[in-house]
Copies of this chain bind each other. A is one copy, B any other.
């Protein structure tokens, strides 16, 4: 097994988040930068609405640190839509070298990891990572149009309508700017498939990938769960989080007293009918950008592990009887 922890030496300077109305009504509603009342953001299709959220998040993130687009060296972006058109159209107005990513719901950390690594490697001074998901666009692509009114099982998750953008830079290049957090370590995930075939149980499909990445990280870094204030997963939801904590306990590496999941945090389990919680690329991105990073900046948290998880199947691959592979990319984030 290669030694694959990356030491990026990069800082997250700014983050901006845009969400839909349901996310705004949830427990973290007050923390997001922008929200849309009708989830359309002035557009005539859900896909264009998703693109518009990315554009808004990108513009807001740059504004927060008074950066012009021509000061950004590269852009990492991806989403859940076929051919990742949420990103390619959403960021089209920015003349910035563009790397398209597909990591399913792990895209936020995949983008942050690559942006941080390019900065740590001296290939860029400022990079931006952007990602999004839109409930209505995702449902009609992956399951059925919302108007169909399909019934969802208890293990089903609710795709978050949201976009997050993160400005990453070298701490040495822009020393006068106060960072939200430092990216001190990163570990890319290995794709893991334990044979789950139920596309309405993404949490179970992704939890083994989260276990794989966490165990490798603790092993390679020589740290333990107690060394972190919080261990946050992207969107395992209630079902996947329980599976993750159970397996970690069986592996004698109990994280249950410090684990939380963006899919559990973004919606109220009691008052918002989302079954197993939130999911989608936007879920991890907006919770990190609006809630966790400001806590790190305020030093309410000192050091956390943040791990976004993705299910790497397509509707066609599921219909063709293939099981659902998962992946989990990890960042160690520390207060500035």
Contacts and interface: CB of A to CB of B under 8 A. Distances in A.
Contacts of A188: 74, 97-99
Contacts of A320: 45, 47-48
A316 interface: yes
A249 to B, nearest CB: 24
Interface centre among A121, A191, A193 (most CB of B within 10 A): A191
Interface string A280-320: 00000000000000000000000000000010111111001
A82 B190 contact: no
A73 B193 contact: no
A103 B97 contact: no
A165 interface: no
A187 B121 contact: no
Interface string A178-191: 00000000011111
Interface in A112-139: 114, 117-118, 120-126
Q: Give this chain's copy count.
A: 2
Interface string A48-88: 10000000000000000000001111100010111111001
A103 to B, nearest CB: 5
A80 B84 CA distance: 10
A5 B95 CA distance: 15
A263 to B, nearest CB: 19
Interface in A27-52: 45, 47-48
- Among all A-B residue pairs, the 8 with the closest Cβ atoms: A121-B121, A88-B312, A97-B188, A83-B314, A102-B102, A100-B102, A84-B102, A82-B82
27 contacts: A1-B70, A2-B97, A6-B123, A78-B102, A81-B314, A82-B82, A83-B104, A84-B102, A85-B312, A85-B314, A85-B316, A85-B322, A88-B327, A97-B187, A97-B188, A97-B189, A97-B190, A98-B188, A98-B190, A99-B103, A101-B101, A117-B118, A117-B121, A120-B121, A120-B123, A121-B121, A121-B122
